[in-house]
Amino acid sequence: MPDAKPLHPGLFTWPSPSPSLIGSRCLDCGEHAFPGQSSCRACSGQNTAVAELGNEGALWTWTIQSFMPKSPYHTDETPETFRPYGVGYVELPCGLKVESRLRENDPEKLRIGMAMKLEIVHVRKYSDGSDLVTFQFCAAEEDS
Amino acid sequence: MDVAIVGIGMHPFGRTPTMTGLEQGAAAARAALADAGTDFKTMQFAFGGSQDGGNADSLVNLLGLTGLQFTNVANGCATGGSSLNAAYSAIKSGQYDVGLVVGFDKHERGAFNAKPAEWGLDDWYGETGLMLTTQYFGMKIQRYMHDHGISRETLIRVAEKAFRNGSLTPTAWRQTALSWEEIENAPMVSEPLNKYMFCSPAEGGCALVVCRADMAHQFHSRPVYLKTAVVRSRNYGSFEVFSPSQPPEVAKSPTVTASQAAFELAGVGPEDIDVAQLQDTEVGAEIMHMAENGFCADGEQEQWLAEGVTEITGRLPVNTDGGCLANGEPVGASGLRQVHEICVQLRGEGGSRQVQGEPRTGYTHVYGAPGISGVNILAR
């Protein structure tokens, strides 16, 4: 996906051979946020900086989205091609838990505590024909 | 000045294709006014809310242009709780003597499709399929089951109880009890929660007439007193819906903080409650809210459900009208339905679902996105 564009800027480093999530860190209290924000949810301060959050973590909880969501869901899928997807919170090394789609959609393959890694995946085609991409997590032991 | 509820009214929840949401709200308001033996002209103020049914203050077109103060309330699923809280303050402060609280709604079929911008989020969150309340509910109970040893059987027991109680409630949407097998084998929606473990967006209306306690008997022979009405929002670290990230430490939920404040203000404890309504937008919510509201320890629900503690015949009946699961959730009206049911129980008007032993003290808890809880403690 060399010409791919992020669906939304500033969520992950791109282009990059090893994309990492991007958030913010409060310079006053040290708490992290994802997506990054200019004010701090923990201490109400306004002294934050952009921070790379890494690309691995442990699965904190999960579910499976079994039906195709209504708008504002917006991918290339149709009701015929829709494939259920996993959703989970992945606990990053800094302790922050990030909500993400998961590649796995089989409840038998997901368990709390399993090691996860970041990947960048296709969402839909942009009007100029290029790929729009976003982040998701998958099991770390797969194809690694 | 203490606050009394002297009129209760409902337009049945479910689907009424022939009526707008606003008309269902007006029907509920008229029923509450009739129950209080009064009329709309007597109301000095009103608080009302609706998510999809129109502006609540438009009700004056149907009920009468009397010039009263009418304030619209919008707090998601906690709209009813917030409306009653506002009415409580209006009377408690001495500003007004008597007023109306009303909620109604008319939602489309299927899951809510919330828009990210209205929640302070960017479009990517919804476009990639994360903007669904159902996912949050699945993930919260999934973690809770892992941490506190709650089994799938307990999830099924909560659904079974809801539809059994719904079958005893003439105003309920779902009036057919479901078997263990029907619930267990229903299609999965959001692991570990299946079709019969979720409530559905619905239609309906509910209204209450509230007044100064010293005027209560002018309106009704069996007033129910609102001992306290508390609303709290989330603290940093509370695990809430529509959160792209959660801090490392899990903090007390707004339900815990609202519940603790309500018990303290009312001067009673969980052991004093005879009948309770706990937000059950899905079965996991009822289970977790039993502990978050202080009624049991985390994990004790497993034993409580197995022993039938929360059945109508149990020590602490929960959701005696079938809750959100059997009534559906018209967002603006849902929190008021909970108060309506507690009033029915404390008045002794529950018919075949009446809690025995003449319950004296009741409790309601509503929870809304993205982390608002409203708790009311009521007594006769």
SS (H, E, C) chain B: CCEEEEEEEEEEEECCCCCCHHHHHHHHHHHHHHHCCCCHHHCCEEEEECCCCCCHHHHHHHHCCCCCEEEECCECECHHHHHHHHHHHHHHCCCCCEEEEEEEEECCCCCCCCCHHHHCCCHHHHHCCCCCHHHHHHHHHHHHHHHHCCCHHHHHHHHHHHHHHHCCCCCCCCCCCCCHHHHHCCCEEECCEEHHHECCECEEEEEEEEEEHHHHHHHCCCCEEEEEEEEEECCCCCCCCCCCEECCCCCCCHHHHHHHHHHHHHCCCHHHCCEEEECCCEHHHHHHHHHHCCCCCCCCHHHHHHHCCCCCCCCCCECCCCHHHHHCECHHHHHHHHHHHHHHHHHCCCHHHCCCCCCCEEEEEEEECCCEEEEEEEEC
Q: What is the pLDDT of residue B110?
A: 75
Which residues on chain B are in Cβ contact (under 8 Å) with A88? 139
Give A140 to chain B, closest Cα distance, Å.
20
Statement: residue A143 has pLDDT above 80: no
Sheet order of strands, A48-54 included = A32-33, A21-26, A48-54
Strands A21-26 and A48-54, bridge-based pairing: antiparallel
Q: Find residue B268's DSSP bridge partners.
A: none
CA dihedral B11, B16, B22, B26 (to 10 degrees): -30
pLDDT digits (tens, 9 = 90+) for B42-92: 999 999 999 999 999 999 999 999 999 999 999 888 899 999 999 999 999
* d(CA A13, nearest CA chain B) in Å: 16
Q: Edge to edge, what strands does the sheet with B275-278 contain?
A: B69-72, B45-49, B98-106, B203-212, B3-14, B224-233, B372-379, B361-368, B275-278
Taking contacts as CB-CB distances below 8 angstroms, the residues of chain B near A41 are: 236, 247
Select the residue from B124, B188, B233, B282 to test the A interface by mutation, using most A Cβ atoms within 10 A.
B124
- How far is Cα B30 from Cα B26, in angstroms, rounded to an integer? 6
Residue B76 contacts residue B329 (beta carbons within 8 Å): no
pLDDT at A3: 79
- List the single residue in A with minimal CA-CA distance to B187: A66
Q: Which of B103, B107, B7 is nearest to B59 (CA)?
A: B103
Cβ neighbours of B113 in A, within 8 Å: 69-72
Query: Rounded mean pLDDT of A57-79?
Result: 95
B276-335 per-position pLDDT tens digit: 999 999 999 999 999 999 999 999 999 999 999 999 999 999 999 999 999 999 999 999
Domain limits, chain A: 55-139
Among chain B residues, CA nearest to A92: B248
CB contact under 8 A, B187 and A7: no
Q: How far apart are CA B345 and CA B350, in angstroms?
A: 5
ipTM: 0.95
The pLDDT value recorded for residue B115 is 85
A55-139 maps to which CATH number?
2.40.50
Chain B residues within 8 A of A33 when measuring between CB atoms: 245
Task: Select from B122, B127, B150, B194 the residue whose CB has the most chain A CBs within 10 Å, as the one to mutate to test that interface.
Answer: B127
| Pair of tokens at residue B118 | 């209205």
Tokens of A123: 């969402």
CA gap B363, B270 in Å, rounded: 9
Find chain A residues with C-beta within 8 A of B246's C-beta.
89, 96-97, 99
Which of B124, B126, B190 is facing A63, going by the closest CB pair? B190
CA distance B160 to B177: 7
Q: What is the mean pLDDT of residues A73-97?
A: 96
- Residue among B132, B241, B245, B250 with most chain A CBs within 10 A, to mutate: B245
Cα B137–Cα B142–Cα B144 angle in degrees, nearest 5: 100
| Binary contact (B127, A41; C-beta < 8 A) | no
Say if residues B357 and B274 touch (Cβ distance below 8 Å). yes
From B108, which residue of chain A is nearest by alpha-carbon distance? Answer: A70
**A20 at B interface, C-beta within 8 A:** no
Total Cβ atoms within 10 A of residue B156: 22
pLDDT at B362: 98
Confidence of residue B370 (pLDDT cuts 50, 70, 90): confident
Domains of chain B in sequence order: 3-108+205-379 (3.40.47.10)
Q: B65-73: long-range contacts at Cβ-Cβ below 8 A with a sequence spacing of 24 or more?
A: B66/B40, B66/B41, B68/B43, B68/B44, B68/B99, B69/B44, B69/B45, B70/B45, B70/B46, B71/B45, B71/B46, B71/B47, B72/B48, B73/B47, B73/B48, B73/B49
For chains A and B, CB pairs below 8 A equal 118
- What is the pTM for the complete model shown? 0.95
pLDDT digits (tens, 9 = 90+) for B95-135: 999 999 999 999 988 777 788 988 889 999 999 999 999 99
Using the Cα atoms of residue B189, residue B193, residue B195 and residue B200 in order, give the sign of their dihedral: negative
User: Chain B: nearest CA to A99, how far in angstroms?
Assistant: 5
CB of B288 within 8 A of CB of B144?
Answer: yes
Q: Give the pair of three-digit tokens for residue B222.
A: 């069996």
Angle between helices B283-292 and B254-266 (to 10 degrees): 50
Q: Give the model confidence (pLDDT) of B149-198 as tens digits.
A: 999 999 999 999 999 999 999 999 999 999 999 999 999 999 999 999 99
B248 touches chain A (CB under 8 A): yes
Give the H or E element holding residue A79: none
Min Cα distance B144 → chain A (Å) is: 9
Q: Is the pLDDT of residue A142 over 60?
A: no
A 63-122 residues with CB below 8 A of B?
63-67, 69-75, 85, 87-89, 91, 94-101, 107, 112
The shortest C-alpha distance from B79 to chain A (Å) reads 24
Set of chain A residues whose Cβ sits within 8 Å of the Cβ of B190: 63-66
Q: Name which of A85, A99, A112, A134 to mutate to probe chain B: the one with the most chain B Cβ atoms within 10 A of its Cβ.
A: A99
CA within 13 Å, CB half, B163: 19
pLDDT band at A90 (very low <50, low <70, confident <90, very high): very high
Q: B143 to chain A, minimum CA–CA distance in Å? A: 5
* A12 reaches B (C-beta below 8 A): no
Residue B193 · residue B284 · CB < 8 Å:
yes
On whether the CB atoms of residues B322 and B163 are closer than 8 A, the answer is yes
Q: Do B139 and A33 touch (CB under 8 A)?
A: no
Residue B113 touches partner A, C-beta closer than 8 Å: yes
Residue of A nearest to B244 (CA): A99
Contact at 8 Å (CB) between A91 and A116?
Answer: no
Distance between CA atoms of residues B355 and B376, nearest Å: 19
3-class DSSP assignment, residue A4:
coil
CB B52, CB B305: distance < 8 Å: no
Judge: B143–A35 Cβ closer than 8 Å, yes or no: no
- Rounded to an integer, the average pLDDT of A102-129 is 95
Contact list in A for residue B132 (CB cut-off 8 A) is 65, 69
Interchain pair B135, A63: CB under 8 A: yes
pLDDT of residue A144: 43
